[in-house]
């Protein structure tokens, strides 16, 4: 109910702010990072050859010794098909007509519907990137960072037979500890190759902060408190002063520890991003677009997908029996990891 009666409202124009405030979408770290670094899809499938064993046709030999000459196959192939996702935008002609009157328009209807749908699509895809890739869904980290529990078949190979494509998974059933984090990190480390990011729920991130808060306070007063961006990138910030506590970005063994609200409950991932990649299929019929937010005040402030391998737009199409237009946002491709053993997961953390 208005504070004022018709005495005032009948002769006074309302003020509408030129941006819509987003009260729905949350952080989407993994999706933002991986789509922004997309590579181009090529062929009907992407095939990843991997080494599955050692050449054991070797050994010491004495005078007149006989060599083993049996050929040993040390390689297999993972193969991945592209997956497809759409989001529909439908506009009715009279609504666009009314909104297009210059002196009356505050926010462009077509633009805000496009931007809002793009952001909603990103939000949905962010959830799929934590899935097991069942059916028509994109492959997600639950299927990649797995030992066969969620994705028994991966890249057309059976994990119970080809065990080298299993990730390092530990079922905890208890709280996070530094020892568990160390174990997960070590399990995914191969020589100098190690995880590049750890992703977890906000609740688990809070648990980690509580574990190390007393240890880091003195150091951060000198070096400064790091800040985390919307895609999980860690940047330096101002030092904590007297009476201040809490952190925006944390590290473990030199690896950024990042909270993602899309992450599945109770899960902590150590991911080596050199071994996980979004491959985007370019469309012939649809044009590539960027995700921008000129009309929405929310979590998406800049372009997110890469120029050539992100979302596409089909353009509006006119039905023959309706004064309206419909178009679809498309995302084509798949998430691929040729080396799942370079990732690890702690699950069922409480």
The per-residue pLDDT for range 285-309, each reduced to its tens digit, is 998 887 667 766 766 655 555 555 7
Query: How many domains does the structure of the chain reveal?
Result: 1
Q: Has residue 108 been placed in a domain?
A: yes
Note down the domain range covering 241: 21-50+77-347
Q: Has residue 126 been placed in a domain?
A: yes
**Would you say 333 and 83 are in contact if contact means Cβ atoms under 8 Å apart?**
yes
Q: Has residue 156 been placed in a domain?
A: yes
What's the whole-number mean pLDDT along residues 308-329?
Answer: 88
Q: Has residue 7 been placed in a domain?
A: no
Q: Has residue 72 been placed in a domain?
A: no
3-class DSSP state of 235: strand
The per-residue pLDDT for range 136-174, each reduced to its tens digit, is 999 999 999 999 999 999 999 999 999 999 999 999 999
What's the whole-number mean pLDDT along residues 204-209?
Answer: 92
pTM of the prediction? 0.84
User: Domain of 339: which CATH number?
Assistant: 3.90.1690
DSSP conformational letter for 338: S
What's the whole-number mean pLDDT along residues 301-326?
Answer: 79
Rounded-to-integer distance, Cα 90 and Cα 86, Å: 13
Q: Has residue 61 been placed in a domain?
A: no
Instruction: Write down how long the chain is.
Output: 350
Rounded-to-integer distance, Cα 36 and Cα 295, Å: 21
SS (H, E, C) 137-157: CCCCHHHHCCCCCCCCEECCE
3-class DSSP state of 50: strand
Cα–Cα distances (Å) from 78 to 133, 138, 150, in that order, read 15, 16, 17
- The model's confidence at residue 113, banded by pLDDT at 50, 70 and 90, is confident
Rounded-to-integer distance, Cα 88 and Cα 328, Å: 5
Q: Has residue 60 been placed in a domain?
A: no
Q: Has residue 239 been placed in a domain?
A: yes
What's the mean pLDDT when you consider all of the chain?
A: 84
Instruction: Report residue 282 as tokens.
Output: 């370019």
């Amino acid at each position: 109910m208005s504070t004022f009666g018709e005495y005032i409202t009948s002769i006074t124009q309302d003020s509408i702010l030129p941006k819509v405030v987003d009260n729905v979408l949350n952080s989407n770290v993994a999706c933002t990072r991986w789509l922004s670094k997309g590579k181009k899809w090529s062929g009907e499938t992407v095939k990843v050859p991997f080494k599955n064993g050692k050449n054991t046709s070797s050994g010491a030999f004495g005078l007149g010794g006989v060599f083993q000459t049996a050929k040993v196959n040390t390689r297999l192939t993972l193969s991945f098909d592209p997956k497809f996702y759409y989001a529909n935008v439908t506009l009715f002609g009279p609504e666009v007509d009314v909104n297009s009157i210059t002196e009356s328009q505050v926010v462009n209807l077509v633009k805000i519907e496009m931007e809002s749908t793009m952001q909603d699509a990103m939000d949905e895809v962010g959830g799929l990137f934590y899935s097991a890739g069942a059916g028509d869904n994109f492959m997600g980290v639950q299927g990649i960072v797995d030992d066969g529990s969620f994705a028994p078949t991966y890249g057309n190979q059976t994990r119970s037979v080809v065990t080298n494509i299993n990730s390092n998974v530990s079922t905890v059933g208890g709280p996070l500890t530094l020892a568990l984090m160390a174990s997960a990190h070590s399990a995914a480390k191969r020589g100098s190759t190690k995880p590049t990011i750890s992703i977890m729920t906000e609740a688990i991130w809070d648990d980690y902060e509580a574990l190390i808060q007393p240890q880091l306070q003195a150091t951060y007063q000198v070096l400064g408190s790091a800040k985390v961006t919307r895609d999980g990138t860690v940047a330096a910030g101002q030092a904590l002063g007297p009476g201040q506590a809490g952190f925006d970005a944390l590290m473990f063994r030199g690896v950024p520890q990042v909270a993602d609200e899309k992450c599945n409950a109770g899960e902590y991932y150590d991911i080596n991003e050199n071994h996980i990649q979004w491959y985007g299929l370019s469309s012939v019929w649809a044009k590539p677009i960027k995700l921008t937010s000129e009309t929405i005040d929310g979590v998406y402030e800049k372009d997110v997908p890469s120029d050539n391998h992100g979302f596409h737009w089909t353009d509006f199409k006119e039905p023959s029996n309706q004064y309206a237009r419909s178009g679809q946002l498309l995302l084509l491709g798949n998430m691929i990891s040729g080396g799942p053993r370079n990732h690890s997961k702690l699950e069922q953390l409480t």
